[in-house]
Amino acid sequence: MNKFTKQLRRLIGASCITLIIASCAQEVDMEIVDPAVKSTFETELAESLELMEDNSTLAIEKLDKIIADAEKINSKYYAGKAKWYKAYIYDDIVEDVSLAYQNYNEALKDVLQTDDALLSMNIYNNLGILYRFYGQYDAAISNYEAALKLKDRLPVKELPDVYYNYGVALKLKGDSVSFFKAEEAFTTSLKYAEEVEAHKNIAIVHNQIGLMYKTVGNYEMARIAYNHTIRKYINNPDLQERVGKAYHGIGVSYMEEGNADAAIDAFKKALEYKNRSGSIFITKYDLGTILQRVGRTDEAIAMWEEALQEKHNKNSIEQVQIYSDLTSALKVNNQYKKALGYYETYNSSIQNILEEGEKYKSESDQVLFANVINEYDEFNKPVPFFSRPVVMILMTLLATALVYVIILLYYRSRSRREVSDAVSRIQTKFMDIKVD
């Protein structure tokens, strides 16, 4: 998985861990009637949650103990909840996709035997995100749809996120039918977000709708969606980053249309509202690109060099492109020594990316994840009844008895034939005697 994808997953992981924290306070497991036992499980789960970021190994050990204790008293709820926490650690912190996938599925097996719709929804949602980031869009969509089948039993505040994730998976699938379903999913997410006044969700969904329309070249509709975020939240101090992203989206739409002046203005407005360094890096990269396109080379060089001062993914596509663009622009300005420095950095960055990708050889992340899915499904497929040890022993005994009966019948039949032959010989002799 490339570093940019990992960063995106960690952003979504932040919302996932919020769901996990919220779930800690719930006591819905009706399997356990002893309040002291419930309290112990909840305390231990909360402690494991606190350990996740700082000491994931210790957190997993603690969760393994919770799972063992829960399975001793046949508590599917707490065993499933602990496996869900483990899956999250492997997914977002350890980044072991195989163990993440295994634990999500094992958690789901347990939780589906309980009556906890919220916990089931959270696991389906996490599995959907995992599938989505590895390009398994149909599987992601199936998990989101399974989560949404529980919507009548879920608090309304939980629905905006699920519909949003469902819409993103549909949008990424890319066909026309999925596009219209994505639009419907985003609209539904907005409806529920507005109902519970989840302003962050509202801003995110409007921006995602803008991105969706921009992707298919409908720039006017894209700008309408982005402007919804701007008008609604431009004065909200908690959502300035979302406003900045909306302005950035507008800038990209103008840039792709060829309206350089409008794009430059929008990117500059985006920088007024953005506060995350990685996000600022992207806007400065795009602003430098459009400035270079209209011949404002000195400004472009300054903007790209400003971008490099921001925290960002060192081996991202934009990062490598900046080194290449700076090399070309500085050559035009006869700044050959500086251009050579950026060219060398460009080459070393390309080499780092190649080395990072070498371990995957010809296999993509999607193929590797498909192998993980197949291995898990193969290992966990239903065992044929005749391959179970007890059944095999019984079948062996039955076969042995059957062989014994067949042999016995054979010898009895043979004995009867021998007796019959002997009787026939005697009768023949007797008849010969009578004739004489």
302 domain residue, yes or no: no
Mean pLDDT per 10-residue interval, the chain, length 436 residues: 48 51 46 77 89 88 93 91 92 86 92 91 93 90 94 92 94 89 93 92 91 90 94 93 95 95 96 90 93 93 90 69 87 86 82 63 61 70 59 74 75 67 60 50
Give the number of domains in the chain: 1
Q: What is the pLDDT of residue 397?
A: 76
Cβ pair 102, 376 in contact under 8 A: yes
149 domain residue, yes or no: no
410 domain residue, yes or no: yes
Q: What is the pTM assigned to this prediction?
A: 0.73
Q: Pull the structure tokens for residue 140.
A: 């992601």
Q: State how far the Cα of 149 lies from the Cα of 277, in Å rounded to an integer.
A: 39
26 domain residue, yes or no: no
35 domain residue, yes or no: no
Q: What is the pLDDT of residue 357?
A: 57
Q: What is the pLDDT of residue 30?
A: 46
Q: Pull the structure tokens for residue 18.
A: 């919020």
Q: What is residue 90's DSSP assignment? A: I
Exposure b/e, 47-70, CB count within 10 A at least 16 = b: ebbebbeeebeebbebbeebbebb
- Domain encompassing residue 399: 388-435
405 domain residue, yes or no: yes
Taking alpha carbons only, the member of 174, 15, 170 closest to residue 187 is 170
Contacts of 430 (CB under 8 A, 6+ apart): none
425 domain residue, yes or no: yes
Q: What is the pLDDT of residue 358?
A: 58
Cα angle value 200/50/86 (rounded, 5°): 85
Q: What is residue 160's DSSP assignment? A: H
51 domain residue, yes or no: no
Integer angstrom CA distances of residue 8 from 95, 139, 410, 424 = 13, 19, 75, 94
Q: State how far the Cα of 398 lies from the Cα of 151, in Å rounded to an integer.
A: 51
